Amino acid sequence: MLWTIIAVLLILWLLGFNLHIGGDLIHTLLVIVLIIVIAKLLL
């Protein structure tokens, strides 16, 4: 489930660079997901 969310966010993030969709919200969500992934890997 987490990997599906990560994949969707990455696709939206890449589309955001080309189409300027989402703005800061996508970047904020990616940072949160990155923190969760790092926490899962370390714990």
Measured CA to CA, the distance from residue 27 to residue 41 in angstroms comes to 21
Q: What is the dihedral of CA 19, 14, 8, 30, to 10 degrees?
A: -110
Tally of structural domains, the chain = 1
> For residue 29, what are the domain limits?
2-42
Secondary structure element (H or E) that encloses residue 36, with its range: helix 24-42
Amino acid in position 31: V
Q: Residues 1-43: pLDDT tens digits?
A: 778 887 887 787 777 776 666 667 777 777 888 888 888 888 8
pTM of the model: 0.55
Question: Computed from CA positions of residues 6, 8, 10, 16, in that sequence, does the dihedral angle turn out positive or negative?
Answer: negative
